[in-house]
Structure 1
Amino acid sequence: MSGLWGVIGGTGLSQLEGLQLTGESRPQTPWGEPSAPLVHGELAGQPVCFLARHGHPHTIPPHRVNYRANLWALREAGVSRVVAVNAVGGIHADLPTGRFCVPDQLIDYTWGRPSTFYEDGLDEVVHVDFAEPYDASVRAELLRAAAAQGISCRDGGVYAATQGPRLETAAEIRRLERDGADVVGMTGMPEAGLARELGLAYACLALVVNPAAGKSTEVITMAAIEGVVRAGMQQVRDLLQAVLASAD
């Protein structure tokens, strides 16, 4: 698959170091403004479009992100393949803090978020196939790049998307685990579903930044999370460069 790559940066990735900047744009969309300007440039010799999901600086909470404007703006900029970077909590025992995961499934526990482009003025009701929520080819590129970089990355897993912005209770995490979830985050939906509606090849690169609630005796603090994020995001940049360097 060919086409312009887009990168959506989550917590800790509000700008993409190493990007040779060629311009910025802040397009108006039918759904309002995206979270931040689209940053256009080259990484590893390939054109790429970067968007900070939570704004730059990081000020937009997960339930207030304008996911529709973000995805629409990327599509209008010519993006066809999207890597979404997400900071997550680890639920499964083989996903400790600092490890990466490229999920292959998700469960949506969010509510009240605008989650479709197909609401008003329709000629007919539209349903998109979402049985496999992540694009297999983009997932494969991420996994190949992680292996080439020697980055520990789990192939597959279930992403549980919760409402936030508060962290989950231990009982909620036990419920998610019974449901089959491996990691938990707050921004996986409706982003993935909207990408599917627009025909974008979308995959998630998740960095485990803390044990989910009840999975450790330690109190979850933002200071501890930020330390993991700082170390992990350098690996994210290395991995993205490897993906783009081998892209067709």
Structure 2
Amino acid sequence: MIEIAIIGGTGVYDPKILNNVSEESLITPYGDVTYKVGNYAGKKIAFIPRHGKHHSIPPHKINYRANIWAIKKIGVRKIIATTAVGSLNPLMKPGDFVLIDQFLDFTKNRISSFYEGGDRGVVHLDVTEAYCPDLRKTIHTAADTLGISIHKQGVYVCTEGPRFESPAEIKMFSILGGDLVGMTNVPEVVLAHEAEICYSTISMVTNYAAGISKNNLTHGEVLETMAANVDTIKNLIMKSIELMSLEESNCTCAETLSEFGGFTL
């Protein structure tokens, strides 16, 4: 059974950290999903490049529901995702890694639930701890083991994209308590939590946000910073998988919808 999934964000498209890689696909109620499957540290792992292997899918058109549904269907219990982010916080510098623990949702046109009435009914999801504390602890331990500096927490502001944010928006987000800004973590984290899967994301700061950065923002800048740090983030993911226990967990992620009888496919 495949119990771990990696969702690779911008700059993390290559599943070569895995051994014996093969390609598989799955038909979901929301569309078809193609993913890679391989092995590492005695564990079977699925790999999905969030934007497609050639970064051809913009953030507002990613099929988040299909991806999470497919991950749940193949048996995954833990997801490590990566996200490239801009920083609103001067303590979180380009090249830094952050284990976000909260989000502010400023998306506009995305469906963020599997439960929209009809046959599936309606649920009201608690997101007090949408990011699995147990999985975040494992990743933090892996970072310490490797000597990688990582911020233990941060607030991720998710915007619709695909444009970058305006300086006025960044100023507003900062006033509201945001530390980082990106375009992909919502609804992904919400859907994973709804599907009762442990989820954590490793955010890598690629630039300061608009109005804070001294230069105009470019996607090339994001890719350049990711490329310079991609080996570090891969090593962090690999060490986290090595340390990950699939037999026991101290979190309650698998019971997120217990009030509603649990998540059903």
TM-score, normalization by structure 1? 0.95
Structure 1: distance between partners of 2:121 and 2:220: 49
Equivalent in the alignment of 1:59: 56
Mark the runs of 5 or more structure 1 residues left unpaired by the alignment. Answer: none
Amino acid at match of 1:12: G
2:95 to 95, 98, 102: 98
Equivalent in the alignment of 1:174: 171
Q: Within 5 Å, which residues of 2 pair with 1:57-136?
A: 57-122=54-119, 124-136=121-133
Is residue 115–residue 121 contact of structure 2 (8 Å, CA) maintained in 1? Answer: no
What secondary structure sits across from 1:75 in the alignment? Answer: helix
Tell me the number of residue pairs that the alignment of Structure 1 and Structure 2 aligns: 245
Structure 1: distance between partners of 2:192 and 2:108: 18
Name segments (4+ residues, structure 1) moved above 6 Å. Answer: none
Instruction: Call closer, same or farther: CA 1:123–1:164 in 2, change over 3 Å.
Output: closer
Amino acid at match of 2:126: D
Is residue 100–residue 156 contact of structure 2 (8 Å, CA) maintained in 1? Answer: yes
Equivalent in the alignment of 1:25: 24
What secondary structure sits across from 1:207 in the alignment? Answer: strand
Amino acid at match of 2:183: M
Instruction: Call closer, same or farther: CA 1:121–1:142 in 2, change over 3 Å.
Output: same
Structure 2: distance between partners of 1:65 and 1:17: 23
Mark the runs of 5 or more structure 2 residues left unpaired by the alignment. Answer: 246-265
Structure 2: distance between partners of 1:59 and 1:223: 15
2:218 to 201, 206, 221: 221
Q: CA RMSD in A?
A: 1.5
Is residue 44–residue 242 contact of structure 1 (8 Å, CA) maintained in 2? Answer: no
Equivalent in the alignment of 2:35: 38
Structure 1: distance between partners of 2:92 and 2:41: 29
Structure 2: distance between partners of 1:215 and 1:86: 20
Is residue 20–residue 43 contact of structure 1 (8 Å, CA) maintained in 2? Answer: yes
Structure 2: distance between partners of 1:4 and 1:124: 27
Is residue 17–residue 237 contact of structure 1 (8 Å, CA) maintained in 2? Answer: no
TM-score, normalization by structure 2? 0.89
Structure 2: distance between partners of 1:233 and 1:120: 41
Identity of aligned residues (%): 37
What secondary structure sits across from 1:132 in the alignment? Answer: coil
The superposition leaves residues 162-186 of structure 1 with CA deviations (integer Å, 9 ceiling, x where unpaired) of 0000000111000000010000000
Q: Within 5 Å, which residues of 2 pair with 1:148-187?
A: 148-187=145-184
